[in-house]
Structure 1
Amino acid sequence: MSRALAALLAGATFGLGLAVSGMADPRKVLGFLDVAGDWDPSLLLVMAGAVGVYALGWRRLARRPRPWLEAEFRLPAARSIDARLLGGAALFGIGWGLAGYCPGPALAGVGLGNADLRWLLPALLLGGWLAGRVPAR
C-alpha cells in the first residue's frame, strides 16, 4: 500500500469517526465545554474510547522494529513544557471554545457540507501558516 493511499484511508476513517461520534457538530462540542451551564458529558465516552484505542495500538506498534510505511519511527525529541507550547495550547483552546471546532472536526464538517466553516477554515490555515513562522529556540 502506498503512503498516499494509507493517508487517505486513515483520514477518511478519522473523519467518519468524528462525524459518527458527534465531534463534527459544534453544538455538541460547545455543550461539552459548557461545564457551568447545560453540560453534555457524552463526549467523555468518545475521548475515553479514543485514548483506549490509542493505548492498545501504541503497545502493539511500539514492539515493531519500524513502521509499516517508513524506515524508522520519528518521535518528538522535545520533552519540556515551555512558553511556546503553553501559548500554542492556550490559543488552540480559545479557538476551539469560540468556534466549537478543532481542526480535525472542522475538516470533517466541510465534508458534511457545513457552510459556517467558510469562515473558520481560512482562519485555521492562517493560524497554521503563522505558527510555522514562529521561531523555535
Structure 2
Amino acid sequence: MSVANRLLPPLISGTLFGAGLTVSGMTNPERVRGFLDVFGRWDPTLVFVMGGAVIVMAIAWRIQRRMKVPVFGKKFSLPDRSDLDGKLIAGSVLFGVGWGIAGLCPGPAVASLALAPTTVLPFVIAMIVGMAAHALIPEAKLRPSKRAAR
C-alpha cells in the first residue's frame, strides 16, 4: 500500500471529524461549559450531537459485525471489558475534569487551531506536554511500589 493510500483515509476522516465538531459547536468552550452546567443555565444542544454520534456508531457496529476485515486495515482492533482498569477510570475522570474546566477536549482543541489558534494554543501545548510526559515516564514509576503500599 502506498503512502498516499495509507494517509488518505485518516486525512479524510480527520477533516470530516473536525468539520463536524466545528458545525456542531463542540469547538466553542462556552457551549460545552453550558452543556456541563446542569444545575445552572444548561444548554442541551450537545445532546443532539451526542445522539447523532450514537446513531452513527450503532450503524457502524452493525456493519462491522458483517465484515471479516476492515476496509483500510488488516484486522479489527476492538476494545473488550478487560480494558477497564484503574488507570482508564482515573484517566477518564481527569479528562472529564479538564473538559469541564477548559471547555475543550483534544479533538475540538485541534479543530479550533484552524479557527482561533491564539485562544486554544495554550491548551494544545499543555496537552502535548502531558502526552509527552506520559510517553517519557516509565510505567513502573507511575505505579505505587509494593513497599509503599505496606
Give the TM-score taking structure 1 as reference length. Answer: 0.91
Partner SS for 1:72: coil
Shift of 1:134: 5.8
Q: Deviations over 1:58-77 (max 9, x none)?
A: 21122111011111112235
Letter in 2 for 1:135: E
Q: What residue identity is the alignment partner of 2:24?
A: S
Task: Specify the alignment match of 2:123 in structure 1.
Answer: 120
SS across alignment from 1:59: helix
Q: Which of 15, 19, 24 is equivalent to 2:18?
A: 15
Distance 2:129 2:80 in 1: 26
CA distance in 2, matches of 1:85, 1:2: 33
Consecutive unaligned residues in structure 2, runs of 5 or more: 144-150
Which structure features the higher share of helix residues? 2
Select 2:110's aligned residue among 107, 110, 134: 107
AA paired with 2:6? R
Distance 2:132 2:112 in 1: 21
Q: Which TM-score applies when normalising by structure 2?
A: 0.84
Pick the structure with greater CA Rg.
Answer: 2
Matched with 2:87 is 84
Identity over the aligned pairs, expressed in percent?
Answer: 44
- Count of residues paired in the alignment: 137
Deviation readout 1:82-106 (Å, 9 max, x if unpaired): 2211110111011111100010000
Structure 1's unaligned 5+ residue stretches are none
- One-letter amino acid of the counterpart of residue 109, structure 1: S
Letter in 2 for 1:26: P
Q: Select the residue among 21, 33, 37 that pairs with 1:34.
A: 37
Greater Cα offset, 70-79 or 99-108:
70-79
Question: Matched residues in 2 for 1:134 and 1:78: separation?
Answer: 25
Q: Relative to structure 2, which stretch is displaced further, 15-24 or 58-67?
A: 58-67
Q: Which amino acid aligns with 1:19?
A: T
